[in-house]
Structure 1
Amino acid sequence: MTIGQQETSTPHPTDMLTEEFAQDPYPGFARLRDGGTVDRFRLKTFSTAVYAWLVTRHADARRLLADPRLSKDAGRIASVIRAQAVDPDEHVTDNPPSMLFSDPPDHTRLRRIVGGAFTTRRVQSLIPVIERFTDAALDRIVAGETVDFVTDVALPVPMAVIGSLLGIPEEAFDDFRRWSAELGSVGTSLSDKQQVIADAYGYVRDLIAVKRTAPADDLISALIAADDEGGRLATDELLSTVFLMMNAGYETTAAMLSSAVLLLHRRPELRAELAADPGRVPAFVEEVLRYESPLNLSTIRFTEQEVTVGDTVIPAGEIVFISLCAANRDADRFPDPDAVRLDRDGHLAFGHGIHHCLGAPLARLEGRVVLQRLLARHPHWRLAVADDEVAWRHSLQFRAIESLPVRFD
């Protein structure tokens, strides 16, 4: 069946913007996958509410993540958002150019520059940094006392690591955390999000100016050096790259760590197995990424021409979101998808194609180090609240626990 432009004006009746959906989206995603096609919904991530197509099946998701007919060009996204906005009177600003919001050849150039500074050697050099920040967080745990694992361990460790990597002063961490939370919340207004972006970019602009006059052994200085040597990074590209890496560099890793601790609370036999055999922790990290993918919806894409998904033709000029959470629970790709198994591969938590997450090696490294050290020092814990009281963030962008009170024995 071909879906024409006139027919796309009516979205699917399922409301994904509710608090209830955020708490447990998987039954809804399963129903959508079982329907065998894609549908159009009212969705909202970092921008205004829009009508957009949602992809939920693994095979479709993997293919479309690498499909060049779906564009991420920052220069044109704003006009597409305006055309598909739920409220046509809402003001929509242009997205700044960045590696995340660009197509080849700009994306190829930006990824080469950032990848050249964000090397394997630089990532591996962070192992003692990760260990130090992890141990400092674990040192503060007192047996028998309640600890909010999200705020006391899962967030501060990756935030400190990415801050150390980039060269961002520790006193700015709380601001970045607040900015990221407001940008990812369904409940934050567009005007408030625009103010957040203005504040964050103002801070990054000032920090870059400092690094230009006093460079250090950090990633921001390395990116500035690439800019100065080759003239290849425009100022706005440098700004958006630093802002992107600061936020993407800790938010999803923190979500993965919290999900891992909740999962091991619910499966104490697996927790005991991992404590006894820490070499299996990397496989567990991969399964956590599949089971509770920290990024629920991929970042925005739009069709440059018609794209067929199943028996549906999505017209040109339409917004498409790909649910990584839904794709990673697809039984056609992962048998018994709601079970935790350490022998799986092929998850899409880091995306696929040219926009595959550049920070994936660092996230995996942090997951391994933090969980191995946690299991070695504090192998026994239990929730300090009822299991059904664990709340997930009211966000379509992220799949992240809001608060996780636990007691370590």
Structure 2
Amino acid sequence: MSPLSPPSPRPDQLPAQHPEPLSYPFWTSEGLDLHPEYRQLWDKPLARVRLPYGEDAWLATRHEDVRTVLSDPRFSLATAVSRDQPRIGRMPRTGGGLIASDAPDHTRMRSLLSKEFTARRIERLREDIRRTADGLLDRMIDTGPPADLIEDFAFPLPMTLICELVGVPHSDHPHVRAWADTVCSGSATPETIQRRATEFFALMRGWVDTRRREPADDLLTLMVRACDKDGSVSEGELMGLLNELLVGGFVTTTNQIGNFFSLLLLPRDSEEDLMARLRAEPGLIPKAVEELLRYVPLLNGLSLPRYATEDTELGGVLVRAGEPVIVSPSAANRDPGVFDDPDRVILDRANNSHVSFGHGTHYCLGAHLARLELQVTLERVLSRMPDLRLAVPVDELRWRSKEFFSGLHELPVTW
């Protein structure tokens, strides 16, 4: 700091600002464009927002502020369970797993699974993922065009893989998908969610009981042993972890596969033909995955609220103890103060510090698995289907409206 620079204000010197809240999320009608409202917020302090349900919150959109909220222990995830948390759906989030806990409970539960999701351990799955992907593509090619890339590929690839890793019986895979569809929908009623939760958790208890009688080489056996023999997780925590693994293990990847290809297949007049370049330079695929993860705005205000545990300065605003903050990774990933030409897809972008998998201790447990699935998807689809193209005009693509994730209902393709 220069001797002439004024000292930074202490938190108790900052104004406690509570402007009129903005209506949030800023729903995008369709496509992968970032809502223009975010662009008005990068040069301002934190915004005050009001979600459809729960108390008002602060919204962080700048890259630096988002990373701070995601990593600073003064912002608590666990507190939300006991509060009228800001949210999109009517039912609040409950406790039980990683996304509702702070250290030391979060550290204890995560340590049980983290060694199973290291980059080295996940890399061993590359050939298995290729075989699964090729099997799905074989079926599409044998059936012949047109096909729905989401229903025929984007759903079954990551869902099959996470179910097999966990140890879910193949006959129950459709129940996993149905439950994920329910909890990720923005329109399911509390009565529907409660009824289906009762059914699905009963199903999970059946899998747990089976693994107690018949151990296997899977994550479910690992968790059951940790509960029964080590006592490192409780029965309730086991069920919460199992639920999070299954839903979080495929939903985001499914949507991103559809989003990636909707972008790659778009007609491009003056811009670079992204798909042609990736076919010509397949070595670019790992960097391309990171760039597409940065560019695609996946979350529609789904960011779980964190509560300040003490008065904290953030983005030039005093966030009082007990006030919730939500973050927009999608906005942070387009912050022009961090990314050069942020609204352009640059496949070989260097130093890509996106926050699509979060940041800090709650960094996505399955990030390495998701990366590998996306890399293999681009590799196999581009090599197996060199003439892949949209089977319908762009304006006929149906985007999900006012749901937790940006994504397509279907992606009709031909070749």
Q: For this structure pair, what is the TM-score category when the shorter chain's length is used for normalisation?
A: 0.7 to 0.9
The residue aligned with 1:262 is 262
SS of residue matched to 1:371? helix
SS of residue matched to 1:16? coil
| Mapping for residues 39-78 of structure 1, pairs under 5 Å | 39-43=47-51, 48-73=53-78, 76-78=79-81
State yes or no: 1:222 paired with 2:231. Answer: no
State yes or no: 1:28 paired with 2:37. Answer: yes
Instruction: Tell me the alpha carbon deviations over residues 312-336 of structure 1, each in whole angstroms, 9 at most, x when there is no partner.
Output: 2222222221111111011111121
Q: Is the 8 A contact 2:287 2:349 kept in 1?
A: yes
**Separation (CA, whole Å) in 2 of partners of 1:102 and 1:228:** 21
TM-score by length of 2: 0.87
TM-score by length of 1: 0.88
Q: Structure 1 stretches of 5 or more lacking a match?
A: none
What is the CA distance between 1:140 and its match in structure 2? 2.3
Q: Is the 8 A contact 1:51 1:85 kept in 2?
A: no
What is the CA distance between 1:225 and its match in structure 2? 2.3
State yes or no: 1:211 paired with 2:204. Answer: no
SS of residue matched to 1:131? helix
The residue aligned with 2:315 is 310
**Separation (CA, whole Å) in 2 of partners of 1:131 and 1:270:** 22
**Separation (CA, whole Å) in 1 of partners of 2:243 and 2:154:** 20
State yes or no: 1:233 paired with 2:236. Answer: no
Residues 1:381 and 1:120: Cα distance change in structure 2 (over 3 Å): closer
What is the CA distance between 1:24 and its match in structure 2? 4.6
| Mapping for residues 73-222 of structure 1, pairs under 5 Å | 73=78, 76-81=79-84, 95-120=94-119, 122-142=121-141, 145-222=145-222
What is the CA distance between 1:119 and its match in structure 2? 4.7
**Separation (CA, whole Å) in 1 of partners of 2:397 and 2:313:** 39
% identical aligned pairs: 36
The residue aligned with 1:290 is 294
Return the match for 1:335 from 315, 327, 340.
340
Q: Is the 8 A contact 1:52 1:318 kept in 2?
A: yes
Instruction: Tell me the alpha carbon deviations over residues 379-407 of structure 1, each in whole angstroms, 9 at most, x when there is no partner.
Output: 22222222233333234532322221121
Q: Runs (4+) of structure 1 moved beyond 4 Å?
A: 21-25, 84-87, 119-122
**Separation (CA, whole Å) in 2 of partners of 1:260 and 1:317:** 38
**Separation (CA, whole Å) in 2 of partners of 1:25 and 1:272:** 25
State yes or no: 1:324 paired with 2:329. Answer: yes
Residues 1:186 and 1:169: Cα distance change in structure 2 (over 3 Å): same
**Separation (CA, whole Å) in 1 of partners of 2:413 and 2:252:** 20
Q: Is the 8 A contact 1:183 1:196 kept in 2?
A: no
What is the CA distance between 1:49 and its match in structure 2? 4.9
**Separation (CA, whole Å) in 1 of partners of 2:57 and 2:221:** 39
What is the CA distance between 1:371 and its match in structure 2? 1.1
What is the CA distance between 1:293 and its match in structure 2? 4.3
The residue aligned with 2:5 is none
**Separation (CA, whole Å) in 1 of partners of 2:21 and 2:151:** 37
SS of residue matched to 1:321? strand
The residue aligned with 2:7 is none
Residues 1:70 and 1:228: Cα distance change in structure 2 (over 3 Å): same
**Separation (CA, whole Å) in 2 of partners of 1:387 and 1:86:** 29
**Separation (CA, whole Å) in 1 of partners of 2:55 and 2:262:** 33
What is the CA distance between 1:31 and its match in structure 2? 2.3
What is the CA distance between 1:356 and its match in structure 2? 0.5
SS of residue matched to 2:102? coil
The residue aligned with 1:3 is 16
**Letter of the structure 1 residue corresponding to residue 103 of structure 2:** P
**Letter of the structure 2 residue corresponding to residue 178 of structure 1:** A
State yes or no: 1:390 paired with 2:397. Answer: yes
May I ask how many residue pairs the two structures share in their alignment?
394
- Larger Rg, first or second structure (1 or 2): 2
**Separation (CA, whole Å) in 1 of partners of 2:358 and 2:87:** 25
What is the CA distance between 1:338 and its match in structure 2? 1.1
**Separation (CA, whole Å) in 2 of partners of 1:86 and 1:348:** 21
**Separation (CA, whole Å) in 1 of partners of 2:374 and 2:330:** 19
**Separation (CA, whole Å) in 2 of partners of 1:391 and 1:309:** 38
Instruction: Tell me the alpha carbon deviations over residues 162-192 of structure 1, each in whole angstroms, 9 at most, x when there is no partner.
Output: 1111111222222222222221222223333
Q: Which shows bigger deviation, 165-174 or 115-124?
A: 115-124
SS of residue matched to 1:100? helix
Q: Is the 8 A contact 2:62 2:332 kept in 1?
A: yes
What CA RMSD, in Å, does the superposition of the two structures yield over aligned residues?
A: 2.6
Residues 1:59 and 1:94: Cα distance change in structure 2 (over 3 Å): closer
**Separation (CA, whole Å) in 1 of partners of 2:33 and 2:51:** 16
Residues 1:203 and 1:300: Cα distance change in structure 2 (over 3 Å): farther
**Separation (CA, whole Å) in 2 of partners of 1:401 and 1:242:** 27
Q: Structure 2 stretches of 5 or more lacking a match?
A: 1-13
**Separation (CA, whole Å) in 1 of partners of 2:373 and 2:165:** 13
Residues 1:264 and 1:145: Cα distance change in structure 2 (over 3 Å): same
Residues 1:313 and 1:390: Cα distance change in structure 2 (over 3 Å): farther
SS of residue matched to 2:84? helix
